[in-house]
Amino acid sequence: MTDFLLVHGAYHGGWCWRFVRDRLRAAGHRVLTPSLTGLGDRVHLMSPKVTLDTHVQDIVSLAEAEELKDAVLVGHSYGGRVITGAADRTWDRWRALVFVDAHMPKDGQSAFDTQIPERNEMVRRNVLPDGYRVAAPSAESFFVEPRHRAWVDRRMVPQPLSGFTTPLRIRGDWAQVPRKTYILAKRFVPSAFHSYAAECRRDPAWRVIEMDCGHDIMVDQPEELTRLLIEAATAAAPPGR
């Protein structure tokens, strides 16, 4: 049995992992799918004070409260920023990190530093009149399969703008986690994630996998993603790690 902590991306909530969570639990694993502050079932906690740092602390606090050890930390999209920050502070709790079509920022980088110009412009256009939230884009813009779009559109909520503008501060300790996997959604183009995958391919410490689907892999391909997460938990660490 392995403990999995699955972190959602922008505009989403813990709900988006439902199909993967159920499959992992059926296979005998313990699975945590929190909603970050101000999102998902915690949307009532949204305020101008919510930042990327808040979300990193959400995951650090949960890992400590659940006393996770030798666990697998997974992040989707914006959740990649969150797990990078959280793992940097708690690296010895994790057996493996899995980035699911996710960002991998370096120290001092915000989302606007690493995202492609088209996505940055979309964020700027969608800032709500209150000035601190960004309206959710459509599920279609994430290339979600038509059969799932109504559900995803119904559940998404505005994202705190500061989640995109706050620079991530890390030491680099997250790289000490022995097993690291990057899963790329090939159909989600253009995106910054293809360059992340290319960077990981040049590093023997990483395993890179491509999936023929849109951005919300956990929604459209839960069976295959579940299999890959279990593989990430059980595969041998690279030599010398």
Rounded Cα gap, residues 19 and 76, in angstroms: 14
Query: Catalytic positions, please?
Result: 77
Is residue 70 within 8 Å of residue 95, measured between CB atoms?
yes
CA distance to 74, 109, 134, per residue, from 32 (Å): 10, 28, 26
Q: Which of 196, 134, 195 is nearest to 165 (CA)?
A: 134
Helices vs. strands in the chain: H and E counts, helices first = 10, 8
Count of CB atoms within 10 A of residue 12's CB? 28
Which residue type occupies 80? G
Scan for tokens 């991998």, then name that residue: 104
